[in-house]
Homo-oligomer: A and B are copies of this chain.
Amino acid sequence: MPQDKPSTVAGEYPAAERSAVELDAVKVAYGDRDTSYVAVARADLTVRRGEFVAVVGPTGCGKSTLLNIAAGLIRPSAGVCRIDGVPLDGLNGAAGYLFQADALMPWKRAIDNVAIGLEIRGVSRSEARERATGWLARVGLRAFTDRYPHQLSGGQRKRVALAQTLILEPKLLLMDEPFGPLDAQTRQLMGELLLGLWSEDRKAVIFITHDLEEAISLSDRVVIMSAGPGATIIGDYPVELERPRDPAEVRHTAAFARLHREIWDHLKSEVVKAYAQEDSR
């Protein structure tokens, strides 16, 4: 996939430049006609090249659904998803997807799970394994290379999956609660790792998280979804904190606190609404 790496920083793209991901009036309904459940009523979202977008929203609103659309794993019921300006048909080959659920191959050791992506791209086995070892070390699992997934803890499995995705250096990163089962400290380390990689070659990132601080400290933009059914995108907050950032430090700035409170209130009202709806049913 030859592609000229964007050399400008986020936010400075000429408007005419094609975006990395563009969800255009996307609607997703699950089930067949009589049992249809409209998860996402309408989502319009544009992620520019090299942009780091965080998505937050109440549980069950349709965040994973949107990632699946961008990955090409499910097709929108209406609307289109464009990747680099081209409507997506079938799988999105340029994307790396870190799934919310366990998705490691249980029959492969940690190192093989990480190396496999390179191997199928024709990298020699020994080189692939070597680079995989390097990646496992970066996510703090140097001692666990030879474990099968069922011999790892939840957080360890997640980190293996992280290494598995990052090793391929995809142009577009789709991450569904990547740091969910990690302790706060490891979470920060992983966040720094991710930001470091991102700043090297400015991939586009869509990052789902429930941790609002994490969302703000890492991203260029925080997108808020409303509660389902029929979720839509109800908020889009640009994060104007300078780059490069130290995600641990940036939390203590006033701008951060202001943004945090703003988004938090918005989100909170949304969830309260959802529960009220639920109760009135």
Contact = CB atoms under 8 A, between A and B. Distances in A.
Interface of A: 30-31, 56-60, 62-64, 100-102, 137, 140, 142-144, 151-156, 159, 177, 180-187, 189, 210-212, 229, 264, 267-268, 271-272, 274-275, 278-279, 281
A16 to B, nearest CB: 36
Contact of A59 (B177, B186, B211): B186
A183 B59 contact: yes
Contacts of A142: 278-279, 281
Contacts of A185: 58, 267-268, 271-272
Given A101-B102, A140-B275, A186 B64 contact: no
Nearest to A151: B30
Contact of A100 (B181, B275, B281): B181
B184 A211 contact: yes
Given A59-B183, A101-B154, A185-B272, 9 more contacts: A58-B183, A59-B153, A60-B152, A62-B153, A64-B153, A142-B278, A184-B210, A184-B211, A189-B271
A278 B180 contact: no
A51 B72 CA distance: 48
A232 to B, nearest CB: 17
B210 A181 contact: yes
Stoichiometry, copies per complex: 2
A142 B275 CA distance: 10
A92 B278 CA distance: 36
A183 B143 contact: no
A137 to B, nearest CB: 7
Contact of A182 (B59, B186, B187): B59
Contact of A281 (B102, B143, B184, B271): B143
A184 B212 contact: yes
A95 to B, nearest CB: 20
A275 to B, nearest CB: 6
24 contacts: A31-B151, A56-B183, A58-B183, A58-B185, A59-B155, A59-B159, A59-B181, A59-B182, A60-B152, A60-B156, A100-B181, A102-B102, A137-B278, A140-B274, A142-B278, A142-B281, A143-B229, A143-B281, A154-B177, A180-B181, A183-B267, A184-B210, A185-B267, A189-B275
A247 to B, nearest CB: 14
Contacts of A101: 102, 154
A177 B181 contact: yes
Nearest to A212: B184
